Amino acid sequence: MPAVKSLDGPVAVTGASGYVGSHVAVALMKHGYTVHACITDLNNPDKTEHLLKLNRSDHLGHLELFSANLLEEGSYDIPFTNCIAILHAGTPMGYGGANNPRQIYDGALNGTKNVLNSVKKAGTVKRFIYTSSFSAIHHPMSSGYIFTEKDWASDNRDNDPSWSSNRIDEDGVMAYAMAKVETERMCYDFAEKDGRFDVISVCPIAVLGPLLSKVHNSVDSWQWWLGRMLTGITCKRSWNVLWNIVDVRDIGESQALMLESKISKNRSRYQLCATDKSGELNVLQLQAHLQKLFPKLNVGGPPDEIHAIINKYGNVYQTPLAHCDKAREELGLETHSIDDTLRETGQTMIDLGLVKPA
């Protein structure tokens, strides 16, 4: 399908009140699009005010709110009317126990089927951008392996007991990864069979960057753990491997660029991750960056066990290593520096009252 542009018609964003979805909406408005922002609760100001505020900015586009529920068949029929593109960022997440593993898995697959059926009914959609995850790329490999868009989480799993549909009810991490793999492929196949639109997927990893609302501070998310570090608390997330960091603003901008790309086509896939080694940090390095950016704070670091690992092996396990080369080369994406990303994450959390520095 040909690339689309803002004058062609409106575009819709599912999960528009979420961390990624909100920044997708921002990027689209900067590109001049009329955005149909789909959210589940129009009566929650924490989910609506930051979106409506965009209409009072100097962005070229305009945003309209629509009520839609991922798990209700047909609820996207009205928001998708006359839309030329859909940016599907909504999915059930497990942060803070919000959903159990089965709900994460079933919600991703069945919810996306509902979205695709509404796309088919609309009949006007030319491009469908699916927010997948690096979880659909990452699979067991030796330390130092560099992942690309050619990798799938289902690779090298023939004799891996941890990758089994029998474990969906007990393992949320595996359920999420398996759901993302299956949903990506389902979307590609659906579009190929329909023939009227292309599906392009984006696979983000450790997402940081400015928070636009208090609801973006999901318990146990990357930004939540960074906020805890700023209050002096020990970071227990991924402390024995690397934080491979991507800016949420870059995820949003990349999706606007995918709509307008003359290179992207059905089954195109872009991993959104570190620009280079500067964005691949162990937690000691992350602590040092944050301490430099917020010198008046007592920034927490990793558990003491990290020192034994570094003394024995020279560093933490060198994974996941991955760079967003394809998005930069094919889409022309210009990424934010790691210090800018970390500064904006921490400062917006402080400004929103989510972090009260010790």
Mean pLDDT for back-to-back runs of 10 residues, the chain (358 residues):
92 97 98 98 95 95 97 96 97 74 89 97 98 96 95 90 87 91 97 97 98 96 97 96 98 98 97 98 98 96 95 94 98 98 98 88
For the whole model, what pTM was predicted? 0.96
pLDDT confidence of residue 263 = 96
Distant-in-sequence, close-in-space partners of 56: CB < 8 Å, separation ≥ 6: none
CB 162, CB 172: distance < 8 Å: no
pLDDT confidence of residue 172 = 87
pLDDT confidence of residue 160 = 85
DSSP secondary structure string for all residues of 208-254 = ES---SGGG--TTSHHHHHHHHHTTPPP-SSTTS-EEEEEHHHHHHH
pLDDT confidence of residue 107 = 87
pLDDT confidence of residue 354 = 95
CB 187, CB 130: distance < 8 Å: yes
pLDDT confidence of residue 26 = 98
pLDDT confidence of residue 158 = 84
CB 13, CB 28: distance < 8 Å: yes
Contacts 24+ apart (CB under 8 A), 328-335: 328/275, 330/261, 330/263, 330/264, 330/270, 331/254, 331/257, 331/258, 331/261, 331/263, 331/264, 331/270, 332/257, 333/250, 333/253, 333/254, 333/257, 334/253, 335/246, 335/247, 335/250, 335/275
Alpha-carbon torsion (267, 272, 275, 280), positive or negative? negative
pLDDT confidence of residue 85 = 98
Domains delineated in the chain: 6-219+244-280+321-339 (3.40.50.720)
pLDDT confidence of residue 93 = 78
pLDDT confidence of residue 159 = 83
CB 268, CB 296: distance < 8 Å: no
